[in-house]
Structure 1
Amino acid sequence: MASKELKALTREEVAQHNSESDLWIIIDSKVYDVTRFRNLHPGGASVFLEEDIPGQDATEAFFSLHRYEVLERPQYKRLQVGYIQGEEPQINPPIDSGAISKVPYAEPTWLVEGYHSPYFTEGHRKFQIAVRKFFDEVVYPDAQARELDGKRPSQSVFDKMAEVELHAMRMGPGKHLKGRTLMNGLVKPEEFDYFHELIISQELCRCGSRGYGDGMQAGCVIGLPPVLNFGSEALKARVVPEVLSGKRFICLAISEAHAGSDVFGLQTTATKTEDGKHWIVTGTKKWITNGMWADYFTVGCKTEDGFTVILVERVDGVETKPIKTSYSPAAGTAFVTFDNVKVPVENTLGEEGGGIFVMLSNFNHERWVMCCTSARSQRMIVEECMKWANQRKAFGKPLNSQAVVRAKLAAMIARAESVQNWLENLTYQMCNMSYKEQANKLAGQIAFLKMYSTRCAQQTATDAVQIFGGRGVTQTGMGRFIEHYHRTVPFDSLLGGANCKDAAEDVLADLGVRQAMRGMPKNARL
């Protein structure tokens, strides 16, 4: 069907269409015929008859009530009949594929023109451009739809991510990348570093859909490394390719209702059969991200020798039920039951009784990934608030003319900048340390950053709601990203293997201090 031809009009011509039976308005130099739509408007027909609306420029009124994306919806695009001759639109779409935001502090400084970074190279920048374009075009639309309907991320998105090896790159640098073509050849496997991974984690969370973000293989990020690092060669050869291709899915199953993530308090048991060839796994797990559709479960079990980690496949005896949380079912959060599940002994990850080392080996990386996403999510909220404070008018003046609002914005910006800069420093250390050195030197620092970033995030969420007012607690419209962030940000403070679901931030802070105290010089005195 051919597109409708739009007319070049003058403002004087538009002004003649100012009655209930013939009603036009101007929004950002575009002319819309809202005569028939007026009675269908969700906010009521009367808004179109307010003073200075019929036949006039309604740009300011529109953007005080609606996000730009409303104009992009097909049912509203059809209302456009023309444009103002000699004028150009002044307002840019919020999602401009791959573009860098011009809003101050909406981007980390390494992406801002005129700024410099000691960490990121031109290769990182080219990689970031490609990754952002991919997420904007492929992932963002699916994220918005699935966050609303609660369905799992679309398989087509998993497939497209696999084509450019995004699933593999989210595991970080390592041997698993050997022989793979990363992002259509933009970076060689041996050159891929933690800054590349940081870019992927931060670009993914720009979708602003917390449940969907976790549904997008969060279980793989924490559930597959134990297989990569501690599984037998035969097990890895069978499991890793199909998981990194996005065809089958894996999750980490440690937490339990009574024990939280305290591995020494777990009640799920694994006992060997008389012939010693199989484990019989029995017990339950709770709050398991991606558990609803996982084909593999990396399970923490109590065994005769202590704590052991076993890869359990979805077979008879494995049952999953959805858990309703404050974010979307798109995360696949599950209650998992293992009822006398028979598992080959070859599926043991690491040594029997050595499960604590299997779990601890990935804690730093897991927490670091969470710091990456927390830092970028806060920046997205800063951008939303900067835009709103600039366009929203109160008492006849822009919201940002009020000192109290500017003070909140200042605190939000300071938090976002400090978290990002600390994160970049730690990432540089990771790039220049062995895994063992990271465990010895960075466990405390990463724990501190995880605690600091999630506390900053919760304060930023609170301040953002205050700036948006009632819109900040409304799930649709102008403040929908603010409401979503404020509702889901507590998740970040609970996650990260703190071994305590009730005081995760404090436990991580204590971990950092304890590691620092172990390094105190014996002769240090005041």
Structure 2
Amino acid sequence: MALDNESFDILLATVQRFVRERLIPAENHLEEHDEVPPAIVDEMKAMGLFGLTVPEEYGGIGLSVAQEVKVNFELGRTAPAFRSVFGTNIGIGSQGILMDGTPEQKAQYLPRVASGELVMSFALTEPDAGSDAASLKTTARPDGDHYVLNGTKRYITNAPRAGAFTLMARTGGPGAAGVSAFIVPADLPGITLGKKDRKMGQRGTMTCDVILENVRVPAANIIGGVAGRGFKTAMKVLDRGRLNISAVACGIAQRVLDESVRYARERRQFGKPLADFQLIQAMLADSQAELRAGWALVQDVARRFDAKPPHVSDPEVSMLVSCAKLFCTEMAGRVADRGVQVHGGAGYINEYPVERFYRDVRLLRLYEGASQIQQIVIARELTRHD
């Protein structure tokens, strides 16, 4: 699945212009009002951004992973909240249906996802089960041709906007084999949302708890129609999501570096531009070298991801995805820190973009698998005995 090169070049140029002319100028509104303007959301839908990864047969654009990471690099150049509006939708929210859903489930949900009519969220994390997804406690008890769900999901991105959740619940015994993936419409009786989380950064993004109390979900809403496969679905979904977070991290690092270079050229100290001081040059050079290394890694892993059989887990590719997620998100944190340092006192002031990105980028090392989880995945594959 991929868009032809000519069409993709046009799409990428359109996204670059949209980021430059519409999203970056709206960053101050986002910071002040903690919301993405509805007019911008409508423009995203009209551009097809809600269907970037949905196959053309379901009304989407059908990007390959190698193409998707390039789009996400460009979107990383602006506040993360803009991408968050549709990023979960085309990523971890709907990828489970695309990868493992039945033909009926794909036909029912994916066209609505692609149009932006349906926003989907990924509900895996719980108060006592974050990276340890196999220990989740939300239960799904069979009751005739339905399951009754009880539990709480935490930090669910886009939950206040969601029309449905890809939700993991325990249908069987302990461990990964007892987890199933459900499509859960957000308007079912028994679903309530917690208050919107107040976060360190990423203004304009929406996360909150999703509370399920005796929620009746049709058995037909199990993704793929077979119970007990939810953990495998979640891991496949997270592989693609982690690679795209890596691309976003590179895009953010590029924006911070651009802002830092501009400031270093314009700001004068001791009679000359900051950019003429070698210690400033060293910070800029380190950021450029790490950014280029990270972006090269992301593109290489994306090509390998596309080369493997579609929707099939490959331990080596998963390990490489974790390499990208680990390196790029940690790298973006270092670049953001240097960006603040280059700006000096101004870097601590909210009106400068580097202060905002310094806060925003911190989350990248935590969600969709913290850095320590990526280290475990990498080491496990390196030491695996066949």
Structure 2 unaligned residues grouped into runs of 5+: none
Corresponding position of 1:483? 355
Three-state SS of the structure 1 residue aligned to 2:76 is: helix
Corresponding position of 1:518? 384
Distance 1:140 1:269, change over 3 A: same
Corresponding position of 2:218? 344
Query: Is 2:88–2:120's contact at 8 Å kept on the other side of the alignment?
Result: no
Query: Is 2:340–2:355's contact at 8 Å kept on the other side of the alignment?
Result: yes
Q: Which of the two has higher C-alpha Rg?
A: 1
Corresponding position of 1:223? 93
Distance 1:488 1:130, change over 3 A: closer
Task: Write the letter of the residue equivalent to 1:194.
Answer: V
Query: Is 1:298–1:309's contact at 8 Å kept on the other side of the alignment?
Result: yes
Distance 1:371 1:493, change over 3 A: same
Corresponding position of 1:320? 193
Corresponding position of 1:363? 238
In the TM superposition, what are the counterparts of 1:372-383 in structure 2 within 5 Å? 372-383=247-258
Rounded to whole Å, the distance in 2 between the matches of 1:244 and 1:141 is 26
1:87-141 CA-partner distances (Å, limit 9, x unpaired): xxxxxxxxxxxxxxxxxxxxxxxxxxxxxxxxx9666544422221233344444
1:446 aligns with one of 321, 324, 333: 321
1:176-203 CA-partner distances (Å, limit 9, x unpaired): 2237484xxxxxx5xx433321222122
2:183 aligns with one of 296, 311, 317: 311
Task: Write the letter of the residue equivalent to 1:200.
Answer: V
Rounded to whole Å, the distance in 1 between the matches of 2:372 and 2:276 is 38
Distance 1:344 1:246, change over 3 A: same
Does residue 282 of structure 1 match 2:150? yes
In the TM superposition, what are the counterparts of 1:63-142 in structure 2 within 5 Å? 124-142=8-26
Structure 1 unaligned residues grouped into runs of 5+: 1-119, 183-188, 499-503, 521-526
Rounded to whole Å, the distance in 1 between the matches of 2:128 and 2:315 is 31
Corresponding position of 2:47? 164
Rounded to whole Å, the distance in 1 between the matches of 2:135 and 2:64 is 36
Does residue 148 of structure 1 match 2:18? no
Distance 1:453 1:213, change over 3 A: same
Distance 1:138 1:215, change over 3 A: same
Distance 1:326 1:211, change over 3 A: farther
Query: Is 1:375–1:419's contact at 8 Å kept on the other side of the alignment?
Result: yes
Does residue 293 of structure 1 match 2:161? yes
Query: Is 1:162–1:246's contact at 8 Å kept on the other side of the alignment?
Result: yes
Three-state SS of the structure 2 residue aligned to 1:267 is: coil
Structure 1 residue 246: deviation in Å? 1.1
Query: Is 2:236–2:313's contact at 8 Å kept on the other side of the alignment?
Result: no
Distance 1:193 1:307, change over 3 A: closer
Instruction: Indicate the structure with greater helix content.
Output: 2
Distance 1:513 1:170, change over 3 A: same
Corresponding position of 1:393? 268
1:411-460 CA-partner distances (Å, limit 9, x unpaired): 11111111111122222223333236762331111101111111111111
Structure 1 residue 354: deviation in Å? 1.5
Distance 1:220 1:454, change over 3 A: same
- The number of residues matched between the two structures is 376
Query: Is 1:430–1:438's contact at 8 Å kept on the other side of the alignment?
Result: no
Distance 1:333 1:161, change over 3 A: same
Rounded to whole Å, the distance in 2 between the matches of 1:400 and 1:155 is 40
Corresponding position of 1:177? 56
1:367-386 CA-partner distances (Å, limit 9, x unpaired): 11011111111011111111
Most deviating of 139-148 and 222-231: 139-148
Higher relative contact order (CA 8 A, sep 6+): 2
Structure 1 residue 517: deviation in Å? 2.5
Does residue 255 of structure 1 match 2:128? no
Structure 1 residue 159: deviation in Å? 3.4
Distance 1:238 1:142, change over 3 A: farther
Query: Is 1:159–1:245's contact at 8 Å kept on the other side of the alignment?
Result: no
1:240-284 CA-partner distances (Å, limit 9, x unpaired): 2222211221100110111223222211111111xx211111111
Three-state SS of the structure 2 residue aligned to 1:284 is: strand
Most deviating of 346-355 and 211-220: 211-220
Rounded to whole Å, the distance in 2 between the matches of 1:352 and 1:428 is 32
1:423 aligns with one of 298, 312, 315: 298
Task: Write the letter of the residue equivalent to 1:507.
Answer: I
Most deviating of 410-419 and 455-464: 455-464
Rounded to whole Å, the distance in 2 between the matches of 1:177 and 1:454 is 31
Corresponding position of 1:67? none
Rounded to whole Å, the distance in 2 between the matches of 1:482 and 1:488 is 10
Corresponding position of 2:65? 194
1:294-339 CA-partner distances (Å, limit 9, x unpaired): 1111111112351111111122211112111112452111111111
1:509 aligns with one of 355, 362, 375: 375
Distance 1:398 1:519, change over 3 A: farther
Task: Write the letter of the residue equivalent to 1:319.
Answer: T
Three-state SS of the structure 2 residue aligned to 1:376 is: helix
Corresponding position of 1:234? 104
